[in-house]
Structure 1
């Protein structure tokens, strides 16, 4: 259940993250702060639920790897926010790509573990 709720929250974060990426690509300005905060809020809530699930319930190894990747993506998001956005400097586009790709891979690993895709082939 923890992975399901976290996945829903991460889906919202992903949708807003795509909007943030398009707001940054090809423009000489950073995305609107309100979207940045909503993106971070959904991602943080999902991440905290996953940490709770990992600590008290236990998650499959694939999901734990996804949590680690999401932690790395979160670190990249914090760097983008505090090193660039708060100082009114443009966020480098490659950093946006790396952040998004790592987060997406982490999310897909959690989705894979939640849906138990590996065990369905044994039926």
Structure 2
């Protein structure tokens, strides 16, 4: 797999995860309830798949530096997701809005950095290993 294809796949997985994240954020912000657990699990699974593929790419391919920074932002966002799930949702407590916002901002930043890396990997200029 070349860097352009790998990063494109990562972006698709993260975008699908983001759709679920937006829906969950709207559920939480619209009222005094957390999103259903199945949504959290699907969101985390999709984001985890994208993140795992990104980290794999960082180890085995020559990816642009922004991909590494994106992975860092996504890792911190993932920690926030774990705190929201285990520290609040599983204990039947409302997820704090500021934690939700921080998670979203970090995830968006990570996505943007990976997208920047993807734009810098023109498939026409890549050399096959």
Confirm whether residue 30 of structure 1 aligns to residue 13 of structure 2: no
Tell me the matched-pair count. 117
Query: Which residue of 13, 20, 41 maps to 1:16?
Result: 20
Confirm whether residue 115 of structure 1 aligns to residue 107 of structure 2: no
Unaligned runs of 5+ in 2: 122-129
Instruction: Give per-residue Cα distances to partners, 1:30-73, cap 9 Å, x unaligned.
Output: 11111111110110000000010001113211110000000000
Normalising by structure 1, what TM-score? Answer: 0.92
2:60 equivalent in structure 1: 56
Normalising by structure 2, what TM-score? Answer: 0.87
Deviation at 1:26? 3.4
CA distance in 2, matches of 1:41, 1:28: 25
Query: Which residue of 54, 79, 82 maps to 1:78?
Result: 82
1:69 equivalent in structure 2: 73
Unaligned runs of 5+ in 1: 118-123
